[in-house]
Structure 1
Amino acid sequence: MVQIADPNPAARRPKVLPPGARPLASRASLNWLGLVPFVLFAALFLIFPVFYLVNGALQTPDGRYSLDTMLSLAQPQIAASYWLTIRLSVVSALSGTALGLALGYALYMGGLPVWVRRTFLTFSGVASNFAGVPLAFAFIATLGRLGLVTLVLRDVFGVNIYAAGFNLFSFWGLALTYLYFQLPLMLLMIAPALEGLRPEWREAAQSLGASGRQYWARVALPVLAPSVIGCFLLLFANAFGTLATVYALTSSNVPVVPILLFQQIRGNVLYNPNLGYALALGMILIMAASNTLYFILRRRAERWRA
C-alpha cells in the first residue's frame, strides 16, 4: 500500500496556548459578565415595573381584569390633562430646540473664542440637571411677584410685568421655567452635530458658486435636520415626565399628567391606584414612541459623521 504524505503536518498538531492564556470562547463568555449589573438594574427598575404597571392598568379596583381602567383615560378631565401636558412639552421643546440651535451656531460658527464655548458647555452640563424644588425656588425668587427681577423692573424701570399679564404660576410661566434646563440640554446634544459639519462641504459649495444662505438651506440644514428633530423629541420626552418642578411651582393648579398620577396614587380623596397605573402606562407609551423616533433619527444623523 502506498501512503500519501500529509502536505501540511503542522496544521494537524494540537495548538499549545501561551502560559496564562485562556481560550477565546472562555474569554468571550467572561466578557458577558460585565453586562450583568446593567441587566439587573434594567430588570429591577425598568422592565419589571413596566410589567407591574401593565398588570395594574388592566385591573379594576376590585381586582378584576378589564379594559375599563384604560378606557377611563378618555374621560374629559384626563384627556384635557394629557393635552395640557403635550402642549407644555411641545412649547418648551420647540423653544429649547430653536434657542439651543441658535446658541450652538453662535458658539461653533460665530468665531467666538474657544474658552467661551467651553464655559457654556460646562455651565450647560450643570444647568441641564438643575430642576425640581431648587429650580422652582430660584424662579420664584427671581420672577415671582416679589422676586428680584420683578421688583427691579417695577421700581427702577417702572415696568410691572404682572400688571402686563405675566404670571410665573401659569402655562407660559411653566414653559419659561422648563426652558432653563431644556436650553442647555439642547446645546449639549446638538454640539456633536455642529462639530460634524465638515469645512470641505462649505468649500465645495462655495467653489460651485453657492452663497452662504444656499449652503445652509441645501447642505447644512438637511444634514442637521435628523439631529435637530431627534433633539426636539428628546426634549419633549424630558418635559413630559417632569413632576417635581411643576408641583413645587404651581402645586396642583396646572393639572399636568404627572400631578394627576400623583393624586391618584398618593392622594386621600382621589385614591385610585389602578387609574394611576393606567396614567403612567399612557405616559410610558408616549415617551417610548418619542424616544424610538429619536433613536431612529440619531442613527440616520450618524451616517453623516461616520
Structure 2
Amino acid sequence: MSSTATTSTISSAAFVDRRAVIDWLGIAPFTIFALLFLIAPTIYLVAGAFLTPEGAFTLQNIADLFTPTILSAYWVSIKVSVASALGGGIIGFFLAWAIVFGGLPSWIRHGLLTFSGVASNFAGVPLAFAFLATLGRTGLVTVFLRNWFDFNLYSTGFNLLSFLGLTITYMYFQIPLMVLILTPALDGMKKEWREAASILGATNRQYWRMVAFPILWPSLLGTTLLLFANAFGAIATAFALTGSSLNIVPILLYAQIRGDVLHNANLGYALALGMIVITGVSNIIYIMLRMRAERWQK
C-alpha cells in the first residue's frame, strides 16, 4: 500500500514538473523576443548615453540635453503629445460613451470597435500619405473646399506640415485608441449605481458628476497619459509628414544617429534616454491609475 502511494506521489510530481516545463517553453519565445529587441537595446542605449564615441565615461551627453535646440525639441514634442492626447481623449470619450450608453444598434458598436482596432494601428508612411492626399495643398478636401465653396484652407494660415497639422494627424490613431481602452471601463459601470442614484433623487447630471466621473476619473486620466506616451514616441508619421521641418525629439534623435552632419550617436542615445524617462513615468502613472480604477469597479 505504501509502495503504491509512493509511486503515485512520484508520478504526480513528474506530471507537475512536465507541466511546468511546458508552461515555461510556452513563454520562452516571447521572453527571448523581449530580451533581444526590448531589454537588451534599452540597456545598450542607456549605457551609450554615458559614453563618448571612444568608449570613455562622460556626462557631456546628458549635459547637452539642456542646450536650447534640444530643449526646444522636447518642448515641441510635449506640446504635440499633450494636444493630441487631450483632443483624442475628449473625442474618444464621447465616442465610447455613444457606443456604450447611446443606444446604438449592435452592428454599429461592433463596426466602430473593429474600425478602432484597425485605425489605432494605422500610422507611419501610409497615414502621412493619407493626410497629404486629403488635407495637403492639393489634397481632396482642400481642392473640394476651394472649388465648391471658394474657401482656401491654406489662406487661413493652416499648414499640414506644422504643429497643428501633426497634432490632427496624430489624433487619427489617438481617438480609436481611447475608444478601445475606455469602452471596457464604461461597460464596467454597474446599473445598480444609476438605479441607486435615481432612487435617492439624483438627476442624470448629478449622477455623472457625483458618481460616474469620480469612478471613471482614474481611467480617463490614465488613458490620456497613455495617449501622451503613444504620441511622444511616434517618429514614422512625423518624419514622413514633416521631414525635418518640425523640430521634435524623435526626428532629432533620428538625425543624430543616422544622418546628422555631426553624427553623434551617443547624443542620440541620451535623447532616447530622455524619451524613455518621460514615457516611462507616463506609463507607470497610467498603470497605477488603471489599478485604482479596477479596484473601484470591483
> Into which bin does the TM-score normalised by the smaller protein fall?
over 0.9
Cα deviation, residue 110, structure 1: 1.2
Q: Quote how far apart the aligned CAs of 1:34 are.
A: 2.2
Give the Å deviation of 1:60: 1.8
Q: Is 1:141 aligned with 2:114?
A: no
Q: Give 1:145's aligned amino acid.
A: R
Asked if 1 retains the 8 angstrom alpha-carbon contact of 2:215 and 2:297, the reply is no
What is residue 80 of structure 1 aligned with on the other side? Answer: 72
- Is the 8 Å Cα contact of residues 97 and 183 (structure 2) preserved in structure 1? no
Q: What is the TM-score with the length of structure 1 in the denominator? A: 0.92
2:289 is the counterpart of 1:291: no
Which SS does the other structure have where 2:65 is aligned?
A: helix
Which of 233, 246, 249 is the matching residue for 2:225?
A: 233
Query: What is residue 278 of structure 1 aligned with on the other side?
Result: 270
For residues 166 and 31 of structure 2, the distance between their equivalents in structure 1, rounded to whole angstroms, comes to 36
Counterpart selection for 1:167 from 159, 175, 181: 159
Counterpart AA for 2:36:
L
Question: 1:6 maps to which residue?
Answer: none
For 1:240 and 1:126, locate their aligned partners in 2 and report how far apart those are by CA, in whole Å. Answer: 20
- Cα distance between partner residues in 2 of 1:173 and 1:19: 67
- Report if the CA contact (8 A) 2:74-2:248 is conserved: yes
Q: Does 1:66 align with 2:58?
A: yes
> In the alignment, which residue of structure 1 is the partner of 2:25?
33
Shift of 1:11: 8.8
Deviation of 1:61 after TM superposition, in Å, equals 2.6
Distance 1:220 1:12, change over 3 A: farther
1:123 corresponds in structure 2 to 115
Are residue 244 (structure 1) and residue 236 (structure 2) matched? Answer: yes
Distance in 2 between the 1:18 and 1:286 partners? 52
SS in structure 2 at match of 1:43: helix
Q: Give the deviation of 1:46 after TM superposition.
A: 1.4
Instruction: Find the residue that maps to 1:17 and give its secondary structure.
Output: helix
Shift of 1:55: 1.4
Aligned length: 297
Task: Look up the SS of the partner of 1:269 in the other structure.
Answer: coil
DSSP-derived class of the 2:246 partner: coil
After superposition, the C-alpha distances for 1:88-124 in whole angstroms (9 at most, x for unaligned) are: 0000000000000011111111111111111111111
Instruction: Read off the aligned partner of 1:17 and give its amino acid letter.
Output: S
> Does the Cα contact within 8 Å between 2:146 and 2:152 map onto a contact in 1?
yes
Contact 1:262 1:276 in 2 (8 A): yes
- Please tell me whether the aligned partners of residues 263 and 270 of structure 1 are also in contact (alpha carbons under 8 angstroms): no
- Flag the structure with larger Rg: 1
The CA deviation at 1:13 is 7.3
User: Is the contact made by 2:133 and 2:140 (CA closer than 8 Å) also made in structure 1?
Assistant: yes
| 1:15 CA displacement | 4.1
Correspondence for 1:46: 38
* Structure-1 residue corresponding to 2:95: 103
Pairwise CA distance, 1:20? 7.4
Q: Take 1:215 and 1:290, find their aligned partners in 2: how far apart are those partners?
A: 30
* Greater helix fraction, Structure 1 or Structure 2: 2
Regions of 4+ moved over 6 Å = 10-13
Instruction: Tell me the CA shift for residue 62 of structure 1.
Output: 3.1
Deviation (angstroms), 1:12: 10
Write the mapping of 1:196-215 to structure 2, written as runs, cut at 5 A.
196-215=188-207
Whether 1:188 and 2:183 are equivalent positions in the alignment is: no
Long gaps (5+) in structure 2: none
CA RMSD, Structure 1 to Structure 2 (Å): 1.9
Aligned equivalents of 1:26 and 1:173: distance in 2? 56
Secondary structure, counterpart of 2:245 in structure 1: coil
Secondary structure of the structure 2 residue equivalent to 1:78: helix
CA distance in 1, matches of 2:64, 2:271: 10
TM-superposed deviation, 1:180: 0.5
Assess if the C-alpha contact under 8 Å between 1:264 and 1:276 holds in 2: yes
Deviation at 1:31, TM superposition (A): 2.3
The amino acid that maps onto 2:187 is: E
TM-fit CA distance, 1:16? 4.1
Match of 1:14 in 2: 5
Q: 1:14 to 1:113 in 2, by over 3 A?
A: same
Return the alpha-carbon distance in structure 1 between the equivalents of residues 18 and 54 of structure 2: 52
Instruction: Give unmatched runs, 5+ long, in structure 1.
Output: 1-9
One-letter amino acid of the structure 2 residue matched with residue 247 of structure 1: F
Tell me the alpha carbon deviations over residues 215-264 of structure 1, each in whole angstroms, 9 at most, x when there is no partner.
00111111111111111111111100111111111100001101000110
Alpha-carbon deviation of 1:14? 2.9
